[in-house]
Amino acid sequence: MNRLTVSIYIVLGVFLFTNSTGTYAAEIARYDDGPFAGMGYPFSESARVGNLLFLAGQIGEDADGNLVPGGIQAEAEQMMLNIEAALARRGLGMKDVVKCTVFLADIAEWGAFNEIYKKHFSHPYPARSALGASGLAANARVEMECIAGYPD
């Protein structure tokens, strides 16, 4: 009996499956712009591949593209609202988020961020990574990207 080994590669938004007989393009990502489309940002708000949605990093910007005043907690609250809105535009909610990556301008603000985070997520929480960064887009205090899954 032959044993088939399958390798998966992500190249330019395309899943490629390879086996002993060749390589096949299986699925191309679908990209969506959000409310800031056309403002000169060189990225899509989200990309969907199969049942996974990859949401670009969100910061605490208001509808005009300005950071909300008030520091880490105000920015984190607005950022969470932006994430909820982006998910809702694609038929998902916070309960569908499976992984978050959090970037903090000051890792010492991790506790203050967590207070806001826990208001928007409940147990079981998504898997998460958090790290301090030397600087974030638009001088934000916090940025978060998420991966969500569509129910079967």
Q: Give the pTM.
A: 0.80
DSSP codes, 66-131: -BPSSSHHHHHHHHHHHHHHHHHTTT--GGGEEEEEEEESSGGGHHHHHHHHHHH--SSPPEEEEE
- Residue 25 pLDDT > 70: no
The amino acid present at 59, given as its one-letter code, is I
Q: pLDDT tens digits, residue range 106-135? A: 999 999 999 999 999 999 999 999 999 999
Residues 56-82: pLDDT tens digits? Answer: 999 999 999 999 999 999 999 999 999
Spell 41-66 as b/e; 16+ CB within 10 A means b.
eeebbbbbbeeebbbbbbbbbeeeee
Quickly state the pLDDT bin for 43 (edges 50, 70, 90).
confident
Measured CA to CA, the distance from residue 61 to residue 73 in angstroms comes to 13
Per-residue confidence (pLDDT) for residue 61, from 0 to 100: 95
The predicted pLDDT at position 38 comes to: 62
pLDDT of residue 28: 67
State CA 96 to chain mean position distance.
12
